[in-house]
Every structure is written in structure tokens, then in C-alpha cells.
Amino acid sequence: MTNTEVNNQGAQEAPARKKRIFSAIQPSGQMTLGNYLGAIRNWVEMQDEFDCVYATANLHAITVRQDPKKLKENTLNLFALLIASGVDPEKSIFFHQSQVAAHAELAWVLGTFTQFGELSRMTQFKDKSARHADNINAGLFTYPSLMAADILLYQADLVPVGEDQKQHLELTRDIAERFNGIYGKTFVVPEPYIKKNAARVRNLLDPSKKMSKSDQNTKSYILMVDEPATIMKKFRSAVTDSEACVRYAEGKDGINNLMEIYSACTGKSYEQIEDEFRGKGYGDFKNAVGEAVVAVLEPIQIRYKELISDKKYLDELARNGAASAERLAKRTIEKVYKKVGLVR
């Protein structure tokens, strides 16, 4: 019986269950300003409204070859950076995917409910197998079954997704419905949670592309841990146009991108920004954008440095998070094994 039903019958007033969110980020490199404004900041905001379960997706990261030492370091750094950004282990469950074995267990079972044809159509698989032609491994192919397991294990109602992960979420929904259809209601079928006006940050040197940590040119992106002086320098070399007028318009991708970043960091609207820089040159504008970004990132960097120097504390946070995750995951995996007829 749901809480609402209890309430309708006039029984004790129970608070309505908050919707559950699941999300994860791969520790596959250093986080950029794009990751922060497009994803991480939302993770922090969603904590007040939703019951959030967050993880570093280190099992997904090994679908491309990783140096073991580097992977561990990236995983810990990502964990610390997210906490420094405001992911709060008191409010949310936050852990490393590899700490809860049920992710791998459920992924195996769900893999048997995922068709070869479906996986073959995934654009991420096609892209990544073209980029890593020497290592098109089975894990890269079945990546979406593991992602479905991440989400379905926690009975998540909502999954915040960017454009690139929509197809994987759609497949997750299909797998959940297929399983529920055969065995009766087992999984919540998750909905995409698309945040209105979430920032989409573009590459500083080629604004036709998104800002991406895997870009060859370090000047094309701002890292969350870049020094303030580096951030200022990178913005000064950002591509603009020859009009010398700060306004949001078609064909002004470079300036549009800087306006989007400035707006995301200061809360100012495009009109306010146009007013502020009327009659001023791009040099002034770029400096202001750099300063606004430094103002957002500097406090995070300070907290990050403190956290990263206390590995024991970080380990303890992750272990506690994993223990809470495990309790939720256990219920689902036990139900699944029982329904499928697997001896536990």
C-alpha cells in the first residue's frame, strides 16, 4: 500500500515518499566546467527535492583500457570533487559502483534480457568502437545493461540525462518493461529527468563542439581544478568573432557560449549581460567571464584540496554510502534472483 492510500483512509499522516534519482559519472579523466554546469551542479540542487543515489561509475570506466593506479586516483579525485561541489553524504547516498557487487550481478541477469540488435544500435557503442578499434570488448558492447542495472537496482523514478545518454535510458526502460512483463512488477520504470535551461558548455576554441575533457587541446576546456590564472588565460584565448558586440545571436557561437557560461555563473539574463557590456570590447567581457568562473570554482577547489588530503575520511564516507546502497540493492537483487529461479 502506498503512502497516499494510507492517507486516504485517514490513517496516520505519513510524509509522501520523495521521488528517487539515480545518477553516476565515470571517473575517466578530470572534470570540466561543462561537467560542472551541465551535471554536477544539478546533482547538488536535486538533493533537496529528491531522494538521491549517486555513484562514481568505475565499472563503466574499464570498458576502455585504464591504468590501474590512475583509475583509482581518478575515482577518488572525482568522489572528493563532487563532495567539494556540494554532494552531501548526509543527504544523499554516494559511493563507488565497484563497492556494491549487486551492480555486476544484476547487469549479468539483465544482459540476458537485452538483445544483440538493441545493443548494436547504440550510438555510444558505435562511436567508442570507432575510437578504440583495437579494443572492442564485450563490456563496451554490454555497457547499457550495466547502466540499466545501476538504475533499476535502486528502483529510481528519475534519471537526469544529457542528450548523449537518452538512448541508454530508453533501453533501460525497455529492459524493465520486458522483465516486468514476464515476471510481474519487479522494477520501477524510470523516466528521464531533463532540467530546463541546464547549461550546455561549448569548446572554447571550436564552439561548434561541446566542451569535452577528452579533447586534445587543453585550451579548449576549463578544468574544475584549473588555477585561477590558467582560467583567465584560457578565456582570453577563447574564439569569438569580429563584430565586437556582446549580444546573443545566430552565427556568434563563441560569444553565445561565453554568455551562457557567464549567465550560468552569475544568474544574469542575456539582456542584463548585453546591457552590462554595451560599448565595451570583448577583452573586458572575457575578463568578466573568467572572474565569474573563478568565483564559482575557487571555493570548490579550496574544499577539494582539504578533502583530498584526508584519504581516510573519504574512504569512510564511501564505505558508509556503499553500506546504505547495499541495503537498497539487496532487496532488488533478491527479488530478481527469486523470480528468475536462481539459487542464492
- Which residues contact ligand ATP by CB under 6 A? 25-26, 28, 32, 34-35, 38-39, 162, 199-201, 210-214
Residue 151 interface partner, choices ligand LTN, ligand ATP, none, CB cut-off 5-8 Å depending on type: ligand LTN
Burial category of 183 from C-beta neighbours within 10 Å (exposed 0-12, middle 13-18, buried 19 and up): middle
- Spell out, one character per residue from 37 to 76, where the chain touches ligand LTN: x when CB under 6 A holds, - when not: --------------------x--x----------------
Task: Name the DSSP letter for residue 198.
Answer: -
- The residue annotated as part of the active site, out of 195, 213, 268, 339, is 213
- The residues pairing with 24 across neighbouring beta strands, listed in sequence order, are 55
Catalytic residue among 128, 234, 252, 286: 128
Q: List C-alpha distances in Å: 119 to 56, 125, 144, 155, 320.
A: 23, 8, 7, 22, 34
- Using the minimum distance from each CB to ligand ATP, give the nearer residue, 51 or 260: 260
128 binds ligand LTN (CB under 6 A): no
Query: Grid coordinates 561537467 are at which residue?
Result: 35
Contact 277, 246 (CB under 8 A): yes
Q: Which of 122, 147, 288, 317 binds ligand LTN (CB under 6 A)?
A: 147
Site size with ligand LTN, rule: CB under 6 A: 12
Strands 93-96, 158-160: pairing is: unpaired
Q: Which does 159 bind (CB under 5 to 8 A by kind): ligand LTN, ligand ATP, none?
A: ligand LTN
Nearer to ligand ATP, 132 or 178 (CB): 132
210 is catalytic: yes
**Using CB under 6 A, which of the segments 21-29, 128-136, 178-186, 255-263 binds ligand LTN?**
21-29
Q: In this complex, which beta carbon is closest to ligand LTN, that of residue 151 or of residue 292?
A: 151
* Residue 22 binds: one of ligand LTN, ligand ATP, none (C-beta under 5 to 8 A by kind): ligand LTN
Compare residues 127 and 306 and give the one whose CB is closer to ligand LTN.
Answer: 127
Residue type, position 328, single letter: L
User: Which of these ranges, 41-49, 146-154, 250-258, 306-314, lies near ligand LTN under the rule CB under 6 A?
Assistant: 146-154
Distance of CA 32 to the CA centre of its chain: 12
Q: Which residue is nearest to ligand ATP (CB)?
A: 38
d(CA 202, CA 208): 7
32 phi/psi in degrees, rounded to 5: -105, 175
CA angle 327, 187, 98 (to 5 degrees): 45
Q: Please state, in angstroms and rounded to a whole number, the distance separating the CA atoms of residues 256 and 242.
A: 14
Q: For residues 297 and 41, what is the distance between their CA atoms, to the nearest angstrom? A: 11
Catalytic residues: 128, 210, 213
